[in-house]
Structure 1
Amino acid sequence: MKNVEEKGKKKSKFLGALYLASAAIIWGVACTVGKAALAVMAPMPLLSIRFAIAFLIFLLFALSRESIKVPLREIPLLALVGLIGFPLSIGAQFIGTDLTNASLASIVTATSPVLIGIFAWMLLKEPMGARKWAALGTAIFGMILLAGLPVLQGRIDGKGILFLCLAALTWALYTVLGKKAALGHSPLVVQVYAMGFGLLGTIPFGILGWRPLPPPSLSLFAAIFYLSVLSTALAFYLWNLGFTMLSSGTGALFFFLQPLVGVFVAWLALGEKLTIPQLLGSLAVLVGIFIALGTEK
């Protein structure tokens, strides 16, 4: 019996790791895809279209598998998860990427794992030792080194960095609140409500920022498909599902894959380059992440 339980735990950990790694890799590519799409569409209208398609996919999939009814008292938490995770976090990332570049967006948002550990300590009472506090300081130093010099030299819009920092902060909060909401519901049900409220919160900004749509093209359709179906519907579901199988600290480690993939794809597809200070800042951010997560079992 004990061996069966151990095998079950190992399988659960493996699947959790697989789901989280897959989501992070998809998002790493999405930074470059999003940057290309933003060249022809405004951030918030693109985000509204992305969320509308993803919500429809989630809703149809959920209705075919299970009941999506939840007690009325739990709606506020689900609404908070959706509003923080979608119009606020993803919207800030879109705007920040539009004002900076795809590789920088990947690296700055990679500080989320450290922040996830802090929010998990505050909201879920998961342990937060001295090493994680040290990790936060290291990551912040890396952020300053990564973004400070380009901003001072006028090569990177300071507002873009602020939006990316906001994206990292709210993404961490979304992840922890989503895990809390999933304690009583399946990840699919949580995602349906979160995406629905997220869409409602995004539509007004999409209307305000609306611009005439560009001529239809295969590349634009491919970008919208990737961002809505793969990067939102599939990746968000895998991310939330993975966190039900692993602790917040361990699961957060897999977000580290996003900047690695994002920087490589941005270099390969967009020809973006990183300066020495940015590389050192990236290293400091990643060191901070590893310090925070190095003690996880």
Structure 2
Amino acid sequence: MKKSVIGAICLSLAASLWGGMYVVSKYVLDFIPPFTLVWLRYIIAFLFLYTILLAVRKKSGQPRAMAKRDWLLLVWIGFIGYFVSISFQFIGTKLSDAHTGSLITSATPAFIVIFARFVLKEPITLRKVISTFLATLGVIIVIGWDVHVGDYFWGSLILVGAAVTWALLSVYVKVASERLSSLAITTYAIFFALVLTTPAMLWELQSHGIFYESPLIIFGILYLGIVSTAGAFFLWNKGLELMDAGIGSLFFFFQPVVGSFLGWLLLNEQLNANFFIGGAFIVAGVVIVSFQKEG
């Protein structure tokens, strides 16, 4: 199987897993403050991934020592992506709503294409521009444009920051994947993000309580930690390792489609013709860019 096909599968799965994240995080944030939830999410994910990393290393033998520049790159990825971007995402979602969060952060692929041009020297081709336009149009059709920016101005602004910083993460993960495994990148970057989040979490708990009034909260935290963090972060990083970052970014658009579908399936939200029309535009954008000839 071609690397690009495996990469496409990994990226599609990651975006799909994130599809239900906004609904889950919006519910859990009513009981647990943002930085504390991010910290819980990372401690669960790190323990889960580090256990797997140790098992893989034991089976494969002693790994080579990482250079200082590799550690610095992992710190940067953990800071800009897993600390800043995810914190912005949670805070922005809490101040606005899940619908707005899903729409605004769907701008991430456009930022990835731009950053990939300057950091990775990937060309901005006509095919990428057309694909990004079609997929963006599809997202707008699926979710709609009624995001109440006036009512949720600060939340919306923070969510834009989440989109920009996640794009930076994606580009630098591609840089790191040239020397490190996706499992190592994900595990150690999450560890550094955990360390960076700890002071904010301790400060936040001085004025906010944590309430476990329902088993759904526990399940929500476990989903965010194991599924949408450990699992999806690894799949996203693996997919970017196998594909051009500008092309791989288009798979991010599956997130709002899956989120809308899960809203219909689990929350009895209605799916109208816009869902299917917009979904067709998104699929068309991904197909156009995925079937271009590789290097």
The alignment's TM-score, normalised by the length of structure 2, stands at: 0.82
2:225 maps to 1:234: no
Q: 1:118 aligns with which of 104, 114, 118?
A: 114
Shift of residue 73, structure 1, vs aligned partner: 2.7
Residue 91 of structure 2: aligned partner = 95
Deviates more, 1:66-75 or 1:86-95: 66-75
Residue 45 of structure 2: aligned partner = 54
**CA distance in structure 1 between the partners assigned to 2:243 and 2:229 by the alignment:** 21
Residue 215 of structure 2: aligned partner = 218
Residue 4 of structure 1: aligned partner = none
The alignment's TM-score, normalised by the length of structure 1, stands at: 0.82
Residue 168 of structure 1: aligned partner = 163
Q: 1:149 to 1:228 in 2, by over 3 A?
A: closer
Shift of residue 130, structure 1, vs aligned partner: 5.9
Structure 1 segment 1-297 matched on structure 2, within 5 A: 10-66=1-57, 67=63, 69-129=65-125, 150-152=148-150, 154=151, 157-210=152-205, 211-266=208-263, 268-270=265-267, 293=289, 296-297=292-293
Contact 1:114 1:132 in 2 (8 A): no
- Which secondary structure state, in structure 1, belongs to the residue aligned with residue 32 of structure 2? coil
Q: 1:161 to 1:271 in 2, by over 3 A?
A: farther
Contact 1:33 1:223 in 2 (8 A): yes
Shift of residue 262, structure 1, vs aligned partner: 1.6
Shift of residue 245, structure 1, vs aligned partner: 1.4
Percent same amino acid at aligned positions? 36
Q: 1:28 to 1:201 in 2, by over 3 A?
A: same
Unmatched 5+ stretches in structure 2: 58-62
Unmatched 5+ stretches in structure 1: 1-9
Contact 1:102 1:266 in 2 (8 A): no
**CA distance in structure 2 between the partners assigned to 1:232 and 1:46 by the alignment:** 12
- Which secondary structure state, in structure 2, belongs to the residue aligned with residue 151 of structure 1? coil
Q: Structure 1: which amino acid aligns with 2:78?
A: G
**CA distance in structure 1 between the partners assigned to 2:268 and 2:262 by the alignment:** 9
Q: 1:267 to 1:100 in 2, by over 3 A?
A: farther
Q: 1:162 to 1:46 in 2, by over 3 A?
A: same
Shift of residue 108, structure 1, vs aligned partner: 1.2
Between the two proteins, the alignment pairs up a number of residues equal to 279
**CA distance in structure 2 between the partners assigned to 1:291 and 1:17 by the alignment:** 11
